[in-house]
Structure 1
């Protein structure tokens, strides 16, 4: 693997299809490849709806994304600073939080450790630090020792925490998401259940490549151990009740981390990217995915990256999982075919729950099975709490059909 900041990656498909990508964005907007505006808006609450409505109108080509998010971030940051100056601390914290998410949105299309990316990251951290200072629960910056580096993270303690030891989950974002969105501004599903959250940018994710920490399967195997070591040193954390949860490409990272750290008590993933070698997402989906991951892994040469991509596999790791495992996926996932998820679930011998939403694509939602069936974020949080509380479970496959009905079959 290349060392140092390798610069901006380029791929053949990106070069050949850039004109087509911009036409697709012109026709479909910011959410052309996945519901980006939805998952960034969700943790911010209803006030951010207008921000994202404006962004959807403003972003008509790929180059629009960073400046559009920057403009909204600047406006929210200015509003937060004015509110704090006026003593309106609740308004200030809300706007600092939204500004941090928008600064992160501005970073998303920048696939190199450029001065602009570093500036956006510094603004994001400054706003989130100010949010943490004013938050309605205890939030603090965390740095997780990992080899010669420190992984960036935020530790959130449950609402009303006043001492004692509490369970915790390690929150792992996806390829295009960030640790700051891992806990909602208000009414967070984990904190409401008395579960602390260690929200990380793991190797290659968002802030980490700016610090020289890149994706490898080995780095993610070490990340589980590093996070647990950090949490066991915290007096607030019950070291016997540590879970890990990941979304999208974070499902692969979470699986590797959990498989190599037996002190983690339960593993939950959703919208999984579990195809060994990742051909579908890198070669058949939007060319932005591959270019983004090249930055995450610190490659600029596409042929070298293609060789590296073959190392991205759960095989040899998932077989080691000995704790309860939850996975929810869409039947028609266009980024990671269902057969690879089924293969991995069959390789796991510990208690497991495998949930398939009929007709859903990678981002689970916007189909009858997801609208009428169990609400996925709530189901994951309840499942995790039950596992951390030692509630027994059966190994089952759930197929949620278009009526919302759960069709259960046993997993041997």
Structure 2
């Protein structure tokens, strides 16, 4: 679908995020269809884009939710995702979050350490309930991705090794307050090679068989997310090959597959649109200064991430420049040493593939209000989060002024 960015800028002002909901639908159906040969649940990784309307749209397609805070759990419940489709993951759950998750009756709490298991058991005992849990296994497989989004190596903070996982499952079996329902692994994000995924899933499937041999029968195998998208010229993993390689490891196991895509579903649905304020030259260096900033889209600054960038004008006079924002940091840039055409005041610039880890990682640094979010579905646009005002930003502080 082609989206008229200029029309949206006139209607909603800039900067803004716009999401193509038809693209989300197509991505969900592609992945769900790849696993049609077996019971499966696509649990959307809410952290990728936690706008309520985005989650609700995925819920309407049948998605569950993978959440990493009780706030994300509540977002999923708010828009109608059933508790039995919600998983609560994350390495640092506080006691009140564990308690609330147990009271809400979600599908599973995904446990990431032996110490966390002790807390879940103790809290379940206090509440006199049985906690359904899965354990995140760290298969020590190199995902071949950016080190900041790698999660499957022993040097990463996520999950436990195979031997520790076995001991934890045995503890669960012998506990009156723990019910081991699933197993989980996730080796990283923006994965573009299938082999590391195949290796990690095979390790986990073998553990499931070993557990079955000692009468610990699991119902769910969560293979994580991480399927990559195109930012530049990446060669992607074929979803059917992905599903087939996973299903091959499941031979002889009556188990439901859970996958938890985030970026795959929403990454390429989103565009961040910003407006040129002016240009300047320092020495021989050209800067294009826009009204969007690192507080709106931090991926380039945080990861040195690449996003395709397009200036929406007809100028053919290109030259090297840095595309930067108004925030008072040298790290406030969207691209460095990029060839862009000569720009004028109010020209629009589209930054593509911004639907995942864009708005959801935004901040109010420099007392900048978060931008508007817009959905486009079947050619019709609608506002799904209004632009923040100064009054919104000070609302939680103002009453304490002396």
TM-score, with length taken from structure 1 = 0.28
**Larger strand proportion, structure 1 or 2?**
2
**Larger helix proportion, structure 1 or 2?**
1
Pair member with larger Rg: 2
Higher relative contact order (CA 8 A, sep 6+): 2
